[in-house]
Structure 1
Amino acid sequence: MQGVRRRTGWPVTWTVIGICVLVWAAQWVTRLVTPYDLSTILGYAPALTDTQPWRMLTSGFVHAMPSPVHLLLNMYTLYLFGRMLEPLLGGWRFAVLFLLSVLGGSVGVLLLGDPWVLVIGASGGIFGLFGAMFVFMRHFRNSVTSILVLIGINLVFGFLVGGIAWQAHVGGLVMGALTGLLMLPGLRGHR
């Protein structure tokens, strides 16, 4: 039928994954051929907020080096939640949810973190997806036990393991839940 656009795949999810993978590859190349480290150029530390506020967003696309574990865990989780949430929200709403959650994670670090500690990773954005999923599951009267267990395990893990910015997890979770609440009116009739 002409004039009807069919939504296929998860273009925003794949775009974010692609950007993170490309940035990680650029981190490798930069590390090999220059004295610079992209994570120190793009990562976020609260002390830099006044002079370099864009880092609050760019930090969500940079991951730890040299092991790919940080990148792989975040991208796998993004894939799992993106394929559920992007079709429900549509591409632009899903993009807004993810980006606001990354910013929310940085605000969590700003309010609760050490001003001089650099943080990187998509975890704030991913925790935002967790928060929105919780809101949507409650709204549609689905059992929230599984998402609460997932959130709980990941929060505890962040508190117990050193080098994880639990502040970004909390900030992203809160922002994702708030953004999900604001997006509920557009979901009427969806299940």
Structure 2
Amino acid sequence: MLPDEPRPTADRSPEAGLPGCYRHPQTPTGVSCTRCERPICPHCMVAASVGFQCPECVGDGHAGARRATTRFGGALAADGGLVTRVLIGINVVVWVLAAYVLTPRLGQTWILLSTGSDLLGGPSGIADGPHQWYRLLTATFLHLEWWHVGMNMLVLFWLGPALEQALGRLRFLALYLVAGLGGSIFAFLVAGHEMKSLGASGAIFGLIGATIVMQLRDKGPLGPAMAFLVFNLIVTFSRPGIDWRAHIGGLLLGSLTAAGLMYAPRERRGLVQALTVVGALAVEAGMLLAGMALYGA
């Protein structure tokens, strides 16, 4: 089409002798979209790097643009600590209910409890069968002492946002839950003949392990994270009444899951990360079934 030929898609304004905007035919304009060359008026034009574009071309360009993601493939969010704060809020609310409102019923119902079939009154709790397996998850949100929930939530507040920003909300939540369940199930596998346990420490140790994995992946300083892990392991094994099994289980499952999420190759990242979470859950299911074979009816 020659420059002075009339464009078939636009109406001419008799007053101005210029083509009308393709969206507002009665508005004359001398500006055309740099992509499709349709006439656009000042109300429709969108500034581009060179010239102006119409709204449709701008929308098509955005649709073809690559979606921004976090370092490890998660959806980018303006608030990188939302899931961390929600988890802290749930733990605190459950603590208030268990310690001051629904005492002692909520604690008795949600605690990680198991008595093997070889003991009087067994099997009970987790060893009693699938209808009690909910305790594996509920116990990770249950605290009865202020210092217990306070210390766990302080570490979650400290480590959670950095991991959540790097992984994205969904992957971070999956990591937290897998680590928490891993701690509960490992504790049942090791001591399911007679045990009581509660607290988010398994999930928290999983986040400590994930932080170390992230530092290794980014070639960052390992000293502070390793020192924090060693300190917590010393406390775990030196004070009575602490369930070291839940801590170790959460640390192992959290670290392995984080490694799969963070070292997944970019070209197959989504598939590898999904298989990592499914694989971790499969390992936990295997441990649970092994514990049931040892302690169940």
Instruction: Provide, for residues 93-135 of structure 1, a one-character-per-residue CA deviation record: whole Å limited to 9, x for no partner.
Output: 1100000000011122112235322111000000000111111
Aligned residue in 1 for 2:151: 73
> In the alignment, is residue 120 of structure 1 matched against residue 198 of structure 2?
yes
Q: Which has the larger radius of gyration?
A: 2
User: Relative to structure 2, which stretch is displaced further, 166-175 or 36-45?
Assistant: 36-45
Name which structure has the greater RCO, CA cutoff 8 Å, separation 6+: 1
Give the alignment partner of residue 23 of structure 1, picking from 87, 91, 94.
Answer: 94
CA distance in 2, matches of 1:187, 1:83: 23
Instruction: Show structure 2 runs of 5+ residues with no match.
Output: 1-58, 63-67, 69-75, 116-124, 267-297
Secondary structure of 1:162 counterpart: coil
User: TM-score, normalising length from structure 1?
Assistant: 0.87
- Classify 1:181/1:41 alpha carbon distance in 2 versus 1 (closer, same or farther; 3 Å): same
Give the alignment partner of residue 14 of structure 1, picking from 85, 103, 117.
Answer: 85
Instruction: Provide, for residues 5-44 of structure 1, a one-character-per-residue CA deviation record: whole Å limited to 9, x for no partner.
Output: 742141111111111111111111112xxxx332221011
Give the alignment partner of residue 113 of structure 2, picking from 40, 45, 55.
Answer: 45
User: Relative to structure 2, which stretch is displaced further, 126-135 or 39-48?
Assistant: 39-48
State the AA in 2 paired with 1:13: T
RMSD: 2.0
Secondary structure of 1:146 counterpart: helix
CA distance in 2, matches of 1:46, 1:92: 31
Secondary structure of 1:117 counterpart: strand
Give the alignment partner of residue 231 of structure 2, picking from 149, 153, 170.
Answer: 153
User: TM-score, normalising length from structure 2?
Assistant: 0.57
CA distance in 1, matches of 2:159, 2:221: 17
Q: Give the helix-richer structure, 1 or 2.
A: 1
Equivalent positions of 1:76-87 (< 5 A) are 76-87=154-165
Instruction: Show structure 1 runs of 5+ residues with no match.
Output: none
Q: Does the Cα contact within 8 Å between 2:217 and 2:263 map onto a contact in 1?
A: no
Secondary structure of 1:40 counterpart: helix
Compute the displacement of 1:139 (Å): 1.3
Instruction: Give the count of matched residue pairs.
Output: 181
Aligned residue in 2 for 1:96: 174
Q: Does the Cα contact within 8 Å between 1:40 and 1:118 map onto a contact in 2?
A: no
CA distance in 1, matches of 2:77, 2:250: 31
Q: Alignment identity in percent?
A: 34
State the AA in 1 paired with 2:194: W
Q: Give the strand-richer structure, 1 or 2.
A: 2
